[in-house]
Structures are given as C-alpha cells and as structure tokens.
Amino acid sequence: MPATINDVATRAGVSTKTVSRVVNDEPGVSPTTRERVLEAVRETGYAPDPAARSLRTGRSQVIGLAVPELGQPFFAEIADRIAQAARSHDLGLVLGVTGEQGQGEADFLERNPGLDGTILYWQGLSAAHLSAEAARRPLVVIGEYDHDAVDRVTMDNERGITLALEHLLALGRERLAVIGLPEPGVRAHAAARRRTAALRDALTAHDLTLDERLLVPSAEWRRPDGARCARRLLDQAVPFDAILAFNDGLALGALAELRAAGVTVPDDVAVTGFDNLDASRYSFPSLTTVSPRLASYAAHAVDLLVARIEDPSRAPRTEVAGVTLMARDSTIGGGALWPSR
C-alpha cells in the first residue's frame, strides 16, 4: 500500500499541512523542518498525486476567478488579492479573462467543470443564467450588480461617493464636476450605475444640485478617458473648482490633462478618485481616493466560496466591503503626508 501524507507527517513529527507545504514547494517552512520532511518522504516513498487526491476527496483544491480584463489595474489588483487569499486557504487558483462586457463568463464556467468553485466578477451574464449556474456549482459573484439569490461581495458605493462629496464640500469647493457618468445610448457597467445613483442620493441628502454642464459622461474608465473628460471641462469654459471622478483611472488621466493645461491641483481644482490603486499613492499630486479595502474584499469572496463549497445548501449571503477615504495631496495639498505615508 502506498505511503500517505499521514505516514510522512508521523515520521517527520510535523502536521500534514507542513508536509503539504514542503512537497508543493511553498514558503513558511524552516530549512531544517523542510529537510526532515524531505527525508521522511524519501524513507516512506510517498508520492503526492493530485489526481489521486482529487479522486479521494472529490475536490480539486482549485478555485476559479473570472475578471473582465487585466489591463485595468483595478481588476489586476483584485485578482492578485484573491490569489493571495486563496493561497492562505491552500487553494490553487485559475483565472479567466472574460472581456469587458463579460462575453466569456458562461464560457469560463463551462470550460472549467473541475473547479471546486468560482468567483466571478459579474459583467454580462443574465441574472437568470447566473442563478442557473449557481444552482449547478459553488459560485460567488463580486461586482456591483444586485442579485440576492447568489453569494455576493460588493462594496459600499453609497458611502464611498458620500465620503468623496462631503470631503470636497468641507474643503469649500462650490462648483463640482463629476466624470465617468453613463453615456446615453451606451451600455453602462454596474459600477457606473451604482455610483451615479449614489451621487444623486448624496446630493439630495445635502439639498444640492450640480451644474448639468459639469456632469461628464464616459463609458470607459481608463486614464485616456479621464484626460478626455478633463479636456472637455476645460474647453467648455464653465468654471469648476473640483472634479469627483468615478474611479482612479479617470482621476489620474484628469490630473495629467489639468497639469498640461497649467491648472494647479488642488489650488485651482481639487480631484478625488475611487479604488485606491497602487498608482494613486505615487501620482503627482498623490490622489485623494475612496479605498474599497481590497484585501478584505478578497477575503470575503474566498471565505464565502469556501463556505458554499462546504455547505451547498446554505442561504446565500451578501457581504458589503467597507470603504474609507484616503485624503492626499490632490485635495488637501502640501505634500506633508508624503514622508509619513
């Protein structure tokens, strides 16, 4: 009878988890322990066999993650955080890239039947199709669509937009521009719709209206789109003293375009973003932005999926990841925060 991981663990006097770490060449094991485990592996003739293990447990120990694209840092940073969270559960991860409109979502689920479960950044699948998929396999949805019949992680867009708006108002800004609103006739992604609704609610709560000419639509949210939106604001010569951008990509593009036009941030115009990309701490000026705390967002998603795998009949849950405002130079100026970052 072939040796098992338990035989190796017993002989080496360590946990099976430690044996697993050593044979999978993972970190977190001291050199002397590693050597002892490898000796026990040699002595017992143990051969780890993922296929055999998978047959035994009925699980692959691999989960899937499907995101729309990786060219936008937001999705890459989410994927990296989820890969880390999966690793902390001893789970492998395969990623799929499903396209900006989520064209490949059904395909990714179809083509990866061997996964223990999948986390899907939901962009294009119909709600009915999603429900059907979730009935067939463990599935957790991330992103900004509402769908209470499936485990789901979303972020607190309402609070995020409110924090950004109130921050600009507290600084005395009076002519607010907003960039990244849905474009008429173009399919808006869910985050655009959620943040637009959140903005309307926050304005109502403050009994405020904005100059319609300062509400700039953009279906895409990358840096060049932010530059284009800022250019439009500059060209139309309607005064503004702040830009609330619906994500950091837009805000970073706007910063570059304002600078090229000789507009000083934040003296002339204050700018806020949303997402807290790594790049935003290093922009000039550093970017004030809403942080969705991606590490806990990722942990929620993996925890929900693990719970779903272990109990397929549990009631679906929605986790709303909290947000915080990172106040940096693009609104409060001065560069004083830099050395203490």
If you ran DSSP here, which 8-state letter would residue 265 be given?
T
Binding flag, residue 19, a second copy (CB under 8 A): no
* Cα–Cα distances in angstroms (integers) from residue 159 to residues 12, 194, 197, 210, 292, in the given order: 52, 11, 12, 19, 10
Binding flag, residue 260, a second copy (CB under 8 A): yes
Bridge partner residues of 3 (DSSP): none
* Binders in 211-250 for a second copy, by CB under 8 A: 222-223, 227
Which position among 4, 16, 44, 112 is part of the footprint of a second copy (CB under 8 A)? Answer: 112
Which position among 38, 106, 307, 309 is part of the footprint of a second copy (CB under 8 A)? Answer: 106
**Whole-number minimum distance, CB 275 to a second copy, in Å?**
14
Q: Cβ neighbours of residue 295 under 8 Å, at least 6 residues apart?
A: 81, 84, 85
| 133-154: burial string, b at 16+ Cβ within 10 Å, e else | bbeebbbbbbbbbebeebbbbb
Which position among 14, 29, 63, 73 is part of the footprint of a second copy (CB under 8 A)? Answer: 73
Which position among 256, 307, 309, 332 is part of the footprint of a second copy (CB under 8 A)? Answer: 256
**Whole-number minimum distance, CB 273 to a second copy, in Å?**
13
Binding flag, residue 333, a second copy (CB under 8 A): no
Q: How far apart (Å, rounded) are the C-alpha atoms in residues 328 and 341?
A: 10
| Stretch touching a second copy by CB under 8 A, among 130-138, 165-173, 254-262, 302-310 | 254-262
Q: Cβ neighbours of residue 135 under 8 Å, at least 6 residues apart?
A: none
Helix axes 16-23, 31-44, angle to 10 degrees: 90
Contact 176, 242 (CB under 8 A): yes
Which position among 13, 50, 322, 334 is part of the footprint of a second copy (CB under 8 A)? Answer: 50
The overall longest dimension of the chain from CA atoms, in Å, is 81
Q: Select 99 or 182, whichever has its Cβ closest to a second copy.
A: 99
User: Which tokens go with 207?
Assistant: 């009994």
| Stretch touching a second copy by CB under 8 A, among 8-16, 136-144, 165-173, 251-259 | 251-259
| Stretch touching a second copy by CB under 8 A, among 140-148, 204-212, 238-246, 275-283 | 275-283
Binding flag, residue 69, a second copy (CB under 8 A): yes
Q: How many residues bind a second copy (CB under 8 A)?
A: 57
- Amino acid (one-letter) located at 14: V
Q: How far apart (Å, rounded) are the C-alpha atoms in residues 245 and 248?
A: 7
Which position among 6, 15, 88, 103 is part of the footprint of a second copy (CB under 8 A)? Answer: 103
50: left (phi over 0), alpha (psi -120 to 50) or beta: alpha
Binding flag, residue 110, a second copy (CB under 8 A): yes
Q: Select 10 or 112, whichever has its Cβ closest to a second copy.
A: 112
Binding flag, residue 108, a second copy (CB under 8 A): yes
Q: Select 41 or 198, whichever has its Cβ closest to a second copy.
A: 41
Q: How far apart (Å, rounded) are the C-alpha atoms in residues 302 and 96?
A: 16
Residues forming contacts to a second copy in the complex (CB under 8 A) are 24-27, 50, 60, 62, 64, 69-71, 73, 75-77, 79-81, 83, 87, 92-97, 99, 101, 103-104, 106-108, 110-112, 114, 124, 222-223, 227, 252-253, 255-256, 259-260, 278-279, 281-284, 286, 335, 338-339
